[in-house]
Every structure is written in structure tokens, then in C-alpha cells.
Copies of this chain bind each other. A is one copy, B any other.
Amino acid sequence: MLKYSRQREAIKNFLANRYDHPTAETVYTEIKDEFPNISLGTVYRNLALLAEIGEIQKLSTGFGPDRFDGRPEPHYHFICNQCGCVLDLTVDGLDHINVLAGQDFDGEIEGHLTYFYGKCPNCKQEKVKFSTH
């Protein structure tokens, strides 16, 4: 049975108000303002739990630590090749790729996980700035 915990609530609220997909470490250090002696283990445990019950999302980008997204509803993510930032990305009409993938496959495709890569708006700007003088 799941019991209320202020720490868990604080972690969830913290994530709900952030859009930069922080790491467990970031959640830990930031939440320390409110809970000066919260444990890193508590942060990891609650992040895992919240992800499991679908209240947040865990992003394993492949490089560096996992990141967490306070928006539970399904959406895509963009990772900047230059600065490494992670941005939310709403892309419609991508469900059909499961069908495409299943075309020549004897198993059963149930879902997919996609990360988009490139230059974020900021880094795209930067590049223009440097290349035109």
C-alpha cells in the first residue's frame, strides 16, 4: 500500500514546475532547500516509484545520467548535439511507425521510443552568429 510522503510530494511538484528534465542529482540538490537532510537514496527511490506509477517519465538518453520529466502524458524529446539540453517535442502522427516496423517482423511491435537529435534553437542561433562575420 502506498503511503503519502512529503518528500515524494515535493519531488513530484518540483518536477511539475521544471521543463529542463533534471537529473536525480539536480532534484536532490534543489529539493534540499526545502528538506535540508533529504537523502539521495530517497530521491532515487521516489523518482523510480513515480515513474513506475506513471506520474513522471524517466529518460535514458544514453549519455550521462538519467533525466526525469514531470509531464506524464506521452510526448517526444529532443536532445541538442551541441549543448546537451533536452527539450519536449510534440510530434503528431507517429503512431503508424509501429505498423511500418512490424511489416516484415514476425514478433509483435507494441511501442517505440524515439529521441530526436540536432541543434536546439539557442545553438542554431549561435552558429549563425559565428559563421556570418
Contacts and interface: CB of A to CB of B under 8 A. Distances in A.
A16 to B, nearest CB: 23
Q: Is the interface of A mostly helix, strand, loop or mixed?
A: mixed
Interface in A89-106: 89-94, 97-98, 100-101, 103-106
* Oligomeric state, in copies: 2
Given A100-B92, A100-B93, A101-B89, A118 B124 contact: no
A62 interface: yes
A123 B118 CA distance: 36
A115 B91 CA distance: 17
Interface string A58-78: 001011000000000000101
A97 B93 CA distance: 9
* Top 5 A-B pairs, shortest CB-CB distance: A60-B62, A110-B118, A106-B121, A114-B114, A108-B119
Interface of A: 60, 62-63, 76, 78, 80-81, 87, 89-94, 97-98, 100-101, 103-124
